Amino acid sequence: MHPELVLASGSPRRSELLRSLGIPFSIHPSMVAEDVPGQPSPGELVEILAAKKALAVAHSKRNALVIGSDTVVALGGDIMGKPVDDADAIRILERLAGQAHQVYTGIALVEVDENGIVRRRLVRHRMTEVMMRDLDRAEIEWYVATREPMDKAGAYGLQGIGSLWVDWIDGCYTNVVGMSLPLLYDMLQTMDYPMVNPLPFPE
């Protein structure tokens, strides 16, 4: 029997992405602190946090494969998370306006056996470059007033109203939304979790 697939995230965007694949899974949000010592690069940071989230949930599961994920936006080496308030959202968007920035999303898979012992783990990340249009103050304040930016890294949502401000992306679209589905697929294949059941050819 294949292990239960568990999403260690309360993000509605990640659950929607996973649901779009048509595979059964349960949701068990992780409750871990997102502070990381030192000065990790954006790619290192999202891998560390994705692994922390997956491991925190895996320790409470039996015969499960747990998915952890984390996303950050980086501009000129500066890492931007979710805005803490309206003023912070405005500040972030003013910095991103007219600039190409990078979106990093880490994915961690942690497999636990029937006794709750971690058997295997796999951690990867993907980067997508995003070009944001120039925005004036009125546009930014209007967008922040929609509340869409408030729970998103980089203070915008590519899958929502924020798509108005994005001129182009270079890389994986779902990576910017919250979790790269092509990367997740490759990782699940590596962990021997089948997503595609081949149909028999007719005789």
Q: CA 178: distance to chain centroid?
A: 3
Give the residue carrying structure tokens 């930014």.
Answer: 140
**What is the C-alpha to C-alpha distance for residues 11 and 152, in angstroms, rounded to an integer?**
10
Active-site choice (35, 70, 113, 151): 70
Closest CA to 155 of 93, 95, 94: 93
**Is residue 70 annotated as part of the catalytic site, yes or no?**
yes
**Which amino acid makes up residue 23?**
I
**What is the C-alpha to C-alpha distance for residues 123 and 108, in angstroms, rounded to an integer?**
4
Both tokens assigned to 98: 């007219």
**Which amino acid makes up residue 77?**
G
Which active-site residues does the annotation give? 70
